[in-house]
């Protein structure tokens, strides 16, 4: 089955700096890669996603890049703000029912 590895597990940045979270996947058949943000005690919320026919996607301060050859994808957050503090999960979608395999999460802390 699919295996998704996510690094780092914790990340602290100063407000205004950039944050980068990286994920690798194992199944070359995976073709959809979402990123979810989860605040404490809340449900995961989709923040951005990328499909395998695209190398990069940007939405305001958030961008995701995908390297299919190397089987890795990354989340980039620029001009970080305290409200960006949360746990971020990457995932890869595969299988006939397009089930998601999640990474283990990154606790991002933005220091004021």
Q: Is 100 in the site for another protein (CB under 8 A)?
A: yes
* Strand, coil or helix: 37: strand
Select the residue interacting with another protein from 17, 58, 98, 111 (CB under 8 A).
Answer: 98
Q: Which residues ranging from 75 to 94 are in contact with another protein (CB under 8 A)?
A: 89, 93
Residue closer to another protein (CB basis): 59 or 79 = 59
10-14 and 106-111 as β-strands: parallel, antiparallel, unpaired? Answer: parallel
CB of 15 to another protein, least distance (A): 26
Q: Is 66 in the site for another protein (CB under 8 A)?
A: no
Rounded-to-5 percentages of helix, strand, coil across the chain: 5, 60, 40
Select the residue interacting with another protein from 11, 20, 27, 32 (CB under 8 A).
Answer: 32
Q: How far apart are the first and last CA of the chain?
A: 41
Give Cα separations from 62 to 43, 47, 69, 74, 99 (angstroms): 20, 8, 23, 11, 24
Interface residues toward another protein, by CB under 8 A: 1, 6, 9, 32, 34, 42-46, 49, 89, 93, 96-105
């Amino acid at each position: 089955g699919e295996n998704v590895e996510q690094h780092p597990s914790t990340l602290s940045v100063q407000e205004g700096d950039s944050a980068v979270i990286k994920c690798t996947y194992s199944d070359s058949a995976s073709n959809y890669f979402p990123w979810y943000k989860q605040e404490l005690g809340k449900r995961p919320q989709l923040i951005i996603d990328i499909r395998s026919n695209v190398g990069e996607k940007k939405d305001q301060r958030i961008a995701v890049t995908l390297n299919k050859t190397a089987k890795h994808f990354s989340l980039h957050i620029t001009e970080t703000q305290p409200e960006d503090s949360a746990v971020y999960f990457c995932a890869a979608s595969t299988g006939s029912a397009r089930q998601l395999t999640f990474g283990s999460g990154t606790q991002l802390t933005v220091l004021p």
